[in-house]
Amino acid sequence: MKRSQTPYRVLAVCFSLIIFAASAWYIGRTFQWGQLGQVLGQVNLLFLIVGGGGSLVGYWVLRTLRWRILLRRTDTHVPLMDLYLCTAVSLSFALFTPLQSGEVLKVELLKKYGMLERFPGYGSFLVERALDMAVLLSVGCFSLLTTLDILPNRTYAYCVLGGLALFCVVGLLALAKLRLRGRPQQLLMTMRQCIGDTRTLILVAGITCVSWASVAFSWQVFLYSAGINIGFVNALALMSVVSLISIASLIPGGVGISEVGSSTILMRFGLAASTAQAGAIVLRSLSLVAIGLGAGHLGVWKLVRLRRSRRLEAGAADTESAAEDNSPTS
């Protein structure tokens, strides 16, 4: 199995390296670094860190609420504070992993601390990923058809939207009817538990839509810190299309390709080349702010767990002392 997967991994790495090299060449040749530096010099760092960081925390809260709903459907109960801190840490560091696969860290972390079993964790994670891709693709296609209107032939976007709707229907039917064996069947059963009723499915789908809207708002906040105001609808279009491009490139964090995509779309919104390129650089700082916040959340989580362990040890010691005092020999 591992040998058969090796050629695909090599091809994926080569593809990513080619895309990265082409993006780096394009940035080096076309970005107007002198004028771009003047725009970056006017960035309001306080607004970028506080406003942008606050918007990211809002996004993490929404993701935590969605995961909590899915886990509770599997009769899994994790303390809300642990769930939020773990989600924040995994989402922040996942920004620099291909396909943001590093988000799976949240499952492993909670499993390591005995708060989560493997199947509820990975089953709910797969449901989250399916919802994210469905919403992101839908928003991206609608943006290409309306806000951006850059497709020479709209048939492609309509085909993707139609295919996406068909895929969602087929996926739900398969989830309900498919029968497997062993561990795949256990995972499938867990996914059915997560979205086993229409009300839960509508609720988590709604939270997914709101969470991606909050990501677009974060992008808008970061751009505004540089004096770039493109409006929420344009920010939503920019976020969805650039995110899809970054995911398709397989480059960790979409480094290079996201800057090319962001600057190109910002210029299409009527911004000067230097301003659009500065906006792309500012959007890259979102990842840095997220990493800093993620590290802070990790420190808080370690402190919470340390204090909890000390309380448990103190409680155990008190219980043992009381038992000795009440023993017949005392």
Closest CA to 226 of 56, 37, 57, 55: 37
Identify whether 253 is part of a domain: yes
- Residue 219 in domain: yes
pLDDT band at 64 (very low <50, low <70, confident <90, very high): very high
What three-state secondary structure class fits 203?
helix
- CA dist., res. 178 & res. 327, Å (int): 59
Q: Is the pLDDT of residue 153 over 70?
A: no
CA distance 223 to 232: 11
Q: Are 263 and 279 in contact (CB under 8 A)?
A: yes
Q: Is 204 part of any domain?
A: yes
Domain that holds residue 85: 34-116+197-305
Residue 294 domain-assigned (yes or no): yes
- Greatest alpha-carbon span in the chain: 90
- For the segment 96-138, what is each residue's pLDDT rounded down to a tens digit? 776 677 778 888 888 888 888 888 888 888 888 888 888 888 8
Query: What is the structure's pLDDT at 94?
Result: 81
Range 60-98 burial, b when 16+ CB lie within 10 A, else e: bebbbbbbbbbbbbbebebeeebbbbbbbbbbbbbbbeb
Within a domain: residue 292?
yes
Distance (Å, whole) CA 253 – CA 95: 5
Specify the number of domains making up the chain.
Answer: 1
d(CA 59, CA 213): 9
First to last CA, the chain: 64
165 domain residue, yes or no = no
Considering only residues 271 and 171, tell me which one the structure prediction assigns the higher pLDDT. 271
- CA-to-CA dists, residue 48 to 54, 131, 267, angstroms: 10, 29, 22
For range 61-87, the mean pLDDT: 90
pLDDT at 79: 87
In this predicted structure, the answer to whether residue 34 has a pLDDT above a threshold of 80 is: no
Is there a domain that residue 246 lies in? yes
The structure tokens listed for 224 are: 């505004």
Enter the tokens of residue 148: 């951006």
For residue 17, being part of any structural domain is answered with no
Taking only the tens place, the pLDDT of each residue in 179-216 is 667 677 777 778 887 877 788 888 999 999 999 999 99
Mean pLDDT of the chain: 80
